[in-house]
Amino acid sequence: MSTRGDTAKRAAAAALAALGGLVSGYAALAVAELVSVAVRPEAGPVTAVGGAVIDRTPAPVKDWAIHHFGEDDKLVLQLGILAALALFAAAAGVLALRRPRSASLGVLLFGAVGALAATARPDSTSALDALPSLAGAATGSATLYFLSTRLPPRSPKPATPSTPPNQPPPATALTPPSRTPTTPTLPPEASTPTAPAAPAAPNRTSTDTTPTPSSPAPPPTGPTPPDRNPTADRTQPSAPAPPTPPGRTAPPTAPNTPAQTPPTTTPTPPTRTSPSDSATDRTRAGDPAPGPGQERTPDSERSAAPDSVPVPPPDPARDQNQDRDQGRDQDQDRDRAPTPTPTATATPTRRTFLLATAAAAALSTGAWLVGRRLKAGTAAEAEASRSALRLPAPASPAPALPRGVDLKLPGLTPYTTSNDRFYRVDTAIDVPRLDANRWRLRVHGKGVDRELSLDFQDLLRRELVERDITMTCVSNEVGGPYVGSARWLGVRLADLLREAGVRPPSKGGPADQLVARSVDGMTIGTPVETVMDGRDALLAVGMNGEPLPFEHGFPVRMLVPGLYGYVSACKWIEDIELTTFDAYDPYWVERDWAREAPIKTQSRIDTPKPFARPAPGRVTVAGVAWAQHKGIARVEVSVDDGPWHEARLAAEGPLDTWRQWSWQWPATPGTHTLHVRATDRTGTAQTAERTRTMPDGASGRHSVVVTVT
């Protein structure tokens, strides 16, 4: 029971220590986020570490995360980072139970990792980006050390069952027998009820200095040597004292425990004892003194008495061993005695620790709230700039969509994707919120005759065009959801490049790659020839009739029809540099993706959904197909690997958008597999060969399994 109770106490102490570690980690994050407001919000430790994790994650793992978590992949990553920080903080708190300084040092080292991640980010422009992580680590380290000093003392782990203080341990098989002699039983006629005499003071030599007040010793039976009194080391048995003569006062009763007398170094010479001394000696030896009218019994007669107890002769070697054993027993008693707790300093209790922890948590929450409020103020400025923006009318409006471009069938994806349903795939942990009034764009690099620097109003004063364009992410699996179509408003990128004096490689231009840089450090490489071949490559400012949402690049983003997003769609753009593919590898090319990535011809079944259970009869099979900048010429459907049936196409919109289709299937009972394939206007049919998204986009035919019942 005692061991189980001690284990529970140790577990409770560890839980309190872990709580202290968690609060310390919370304090570190709160202070770091507060400092990041003054430095740069993207320099916060969670954002910086999350970005570093994304940068170093292998492409297959990224595809897996996008496939399973979709647009929530950033949230999952942040939760994972916070969970790892919580585990580390709890472990540091438990370590602080034994080594508070080592635990505090560990927190500082962990903060150094965050500082390194912040300064190593592509968007880092100053060593000050390390400040939020370092400030947070210092706060967390100090908080952890402070709370560790407020922890209640730990219960020691018992090695053996405890023994009550000041009591001898229980006798065991290894305990030597007691050396205390049995008190002799006196004859009835020799006993006289008197008070016991006080024990004589010990008389010891200079080499025998250990006092043994509680050790018993047998009485002397012979003459005492001049250098030693054998009765000094023995416990005197109680014996009746001689009667008090008439007219005299009885001596005080001696205590049960023999009195301790400091050892003397002067040898006691033999002296002649008086009758009273003899009586005292007899009393000490357990022999009663003769009472009134009685004569002293000779020694020979006393030794022959049937009830007398024989007294062993003195043995100096035995006495010396007894002295040594008694000293060892006293040392063991002192070792078993509990160490007194100093009363000058108050001992920490659970209450004091919980109060200190609550205070630290409250202060941390205050710092976190202040940081959030300051961040909200910065975001409010960006929100205000977007809300106040009134987009000019386009100089070149989008062509009117033909009637019937949207079939509007149940379960079919709409022709135009609303802003709130448009897919989002990027590496930004926190969505940048930029103030349009502070935004600037720089155009420079190889082949630029005149460097450009534009603000947002400069861009709006240029000729704006409006176009319907379907965008596709390279991470989109066959039949995946990362494709959407919207109406975009912006400035033609080719016009801007010509204004800067840029020529495409086909016309002698020295630059074959355009590198777009985002405020979050992302770099996108696009072929200059593709941008300037006449397609509607845009610096977009509007989406579906309103300013760009923050999640989709406000205030300005780039897009190029016919190219996957990772080589064309730079959000939150702030810099355009002209260079060559040989001179520079952008973000995704560094991670083994293809330099050039035109969108592959694809189609998808939207209805019926996988594992649907339609009724027999005519079942509508419908979906979308896309081949941007080429257009869709035909879509076909096959059932159970049978013949291909041509589907009905919706009215055709611009070549840079997808196209809806439908087919009426005479469904029969049973489980069936539906396949779809598309053919673009160049005559290229969708291949049946399945490939993964890396390095230049997935290929294959989409299929669904349904059961007709």
- Judge whether residue 151 has pLDDT over 70: yes
Greatest mean pLDDT among 41-55, 308-322, 326-340 lies in 41-55
Give me the pLDDT at residue 370, please: 93
314 confidence band (pLDDT: 50, 70, 90):
low
Q: Under DSSP, is residue 540 helix (H, G, I), strand (E, B) or coil?
A: strand
Q: Which residue has the higher pLDDT, 156 or 484?
A: 484
- Judge whether residue 238 has pLDDT over 60: no
Length reported for the chain: 709
Rounded CA gap, 315 and 321, in Å? 10
What are the residues facing 623 on neighbouring strands? 605, 661
Contact by Cβ (8 Å): 464, 560: no
Task: Determine the Cα angle at 558 with ends 552 and 560, to 5°.
Answer: 115
Rounded CA gap, 475 and 599, in Å? 12
Contact by Cβ (8 Å): 181, 237: yes
What are the residues facing 617 on neighbouring strands? 667
Rounded CA gap, 415 and 499, in Å? 35
Find the radius of gyration of the CA atoms of the chain. Answer: 49
Give me the pLDDT at residue 263, please: 46
The amino acid that residue 659 corresponds to is R
Mean pLDDT of the region 112-129? 89
Contacts for 130 with CB less than 8 Å, ≥ 6 apart: 43, 115, 116, 118, 119
Q: Which residue has the higher pLDDT, 248 or 615?
A: 615
316 confidence band (pLDDT: 50, 70, 90):
low
Q: Are residues 613 and 481 in the same domain?
A: no
Q: Which residue has the higher pLDDT, 359 or 158?
A: 359
Q: Which has the minimum average pLDDT: 161-170, 269-278, 472-481, 668-677?
A: 269-278
Is 327 a member of any domain? Answer: no
Mean pLDDT of the region 65-76? 83
Q: By C-alpha distance, which of 11, 154, 296 is closest to 288?
A: 296
Rounded to 10 deg, the angle between the 73-95 and 45-56 helix axes is 120
Contact by Cβ (8 Å): 665, 621: yes
64 confidence band (pLDDT: 50, 70, 90):
confident
Contact by Cβ (8 Å): 395, 463: yes
Rounded CA gap, 67 and 62, in Å? 8
Is 317 a member of any domain? Answer: no
Q: Are residues 489 and 586 in the same domain?
A: yes
The amino acid that residue 369 corresponds to is L
Rounded CA gap, 624 and 67, in Å? 20
Q: By C-alpha distance, which of 165, 246, 263, 252 is closest to 209?
A: 263
Q: Which of 542, 564, 591 is the last residue of a domain?
A: 591
DSSP string, 120-186: TSTT--SGGGGHHHHHHHHHHHHHHHHHHTTSPPPPPPPSS----TTSPPPP-TTSPPP-PPPPPPP
Helix, strand, coil share (%) of the chain residues, nearest 5 = 35, 15, 50
Q: Are residues 17 and 112 in the same domain?
A: yes
Q: By C-alpha distance, which of 180, 178, 182, 177 is closest to 307?
A: 182
Greatest mean pLDDT among 96-100, 287-291, 302-306, 547-551 lies in 547-551
Average pLDDT value for the chain: 81
| Strands, E assignment, 287-373 | none
326 confidence band (pLDDT: 50, 70, 90):
low
Is 682 a member of any domain? Answer: yes
Q: Are residues 445 and 584 in the same domain?
A: yes
Provide the domain count of the chain: 3
Q: How are beta strands 573-579 and 440-445 bridged, if at all? A: parallel
Q: Which of 100, 127, 150 is the last residue of a domain?
A: 150
Give me the pLDDT at residue 69, please: 87
Instruction: Give pLDDT tens digits for 403-437.
Output: 999 999 999 999 999 999 999 999 998 899 999 99
Is 576 a member of any domain? Answer: yes
- Judge whether residue 349 has pLDDT over 90: no
Mean pLDDT of the region 490-497? 98
The amino acid that residue 173 corresponds to is A
201 confidence band (pLDDT: 50, 70, 90):
very low
The backbone torsions φ and ψ at residue 271, rounded to the nearest 5 degrees and listed phi first, read -125, 160
Give me the half-sphere count of Cα atoms (radius 13 Å) on the Cβ side of residue 306: 1
Q: Which has the minimum average pLDDT: 112-121, 435-444, 490-499?
A: 112-121
Q: Which residue has the higher pLDDT, 340 or 445?
A: 445
Rounded CA gap, 400 and 398, in Å? 6
Give me the pLDDT at residue 319, please: 58
Q: Which has the minimum average pLDDT: 3-17, 198-212, 408-422?
A: 198-212
Mean pLDDT of the region 639-648? 97
Q: Which of 97, 130, 150 is the last residue of a domain?
A: 150
Q: Which has the minimum average pLDDT: 11-25, 151-165, 382-396, 406-420?
A: 151-165
Q: Are residues 653 and 516 in the same domain?
A: no
Q: Which residue has the higher pLDDT, 394 or 274?
A: 394
Rounded CA gap, 501 and 510, in Å? 11
Q: Please state whether the peptide bond connecting residue 608 to the residue before it is cis, i.e. omega within 30 degrees of 0.
A: yes
Is 17 a member of any domain? Answer: yes
Structure tokens at 545: 């009739």
| Strands, E assignment, 482-616 | 483-492, 513-518, 523-527, 538-543, 546-547, 557-559, 573-579, 602-607
Q: Which has the minimum average pLDDT: 48-52, 132-136, 263-267, 336-340?
A: 263-267
Q: Please give the span between the terminal C-alpha atoms of the chain, in angstroms, as a whole number.
A: 66
What are the residues facing 603 on neighbouring strands? 625
Give me the pLDDT at residue 344, please: 47
Mean pLDDT of the region 692-704? 95
Q: By C-alpha distance, which of 483, 419, 452 is closest to 627?
A: 483
Is 167 a member of any domain? Answer: no
Q: Please state whether the peptide bond connecting residue 654 to the residue before it is cis, i.e. omega within 30 degrees of 0.
A: no
Give me the pLDDT at residue 17, please: 93
- Judge whether residue 388 has pLDDT over 80: yes
The backbone torsions φ and ψ at residue 149, rounded to the nearest 5 degrees and listed phi first, read -75, -10
CATH number for 548: 3.90.420.10
Rounded CA gap, 118 and 619, in Å? 55
Q: How far is CA 467 from CA 228, 231, 237, 530, 656, in A?
A: 121, 119, 118, 17, 9
Q: Are residues 586 and 445 in the same domain?
A: yes
Give me the pLDDT at residue 111, please: 92
Q: Are residues 521 and 607 in the same domain?
A: no
Q: Are residues 477 and 615 in the same domain?
A: no
Give me the pLDDT at residue 271, please: 45
Q: Are residues 619 and 586 in the same domain?
A: no
Q: Are residues 14 and 86 in the same domain?
A: yes
158 confidence band (pLDDT: 50, 70, 90):
low
Task: Determine the Cα angle at 194 with ends 189 and 195, to 5°.
Answer: 145
Is 296 a member of any domain? Answer: no
Is 466 a member of any domain? Answer: yes
Mean pLDDT of the region 111-130? 89
* Distance, CA of 48 to chain centre: 16
Helix (H) or strand (E) holding 708: strand 703-708
Q: What is the domain range of residue 454?
A: 440-591
pTM to 2 decimal places: 0.69
Give me the pLDDT at residue 103, please: 93
Q: Are residues 25 and 133 in the same domain?
A: yes
Q: Which has the minimum average pLDDT: 29-38, 47-56, 134-143, 496-505?
A: 47-56
Percent of the chain with pLDDT over 90: 60
Q: Are residues 554 and 574 in the same domain?
A: yes
CATH number for 634: 2.60.40.650
Q: How are beta strands 523-527 and 513-518 bridged, if at all? A: antiparallel
Contact by Cβ (8 Å): 283, 242: yes
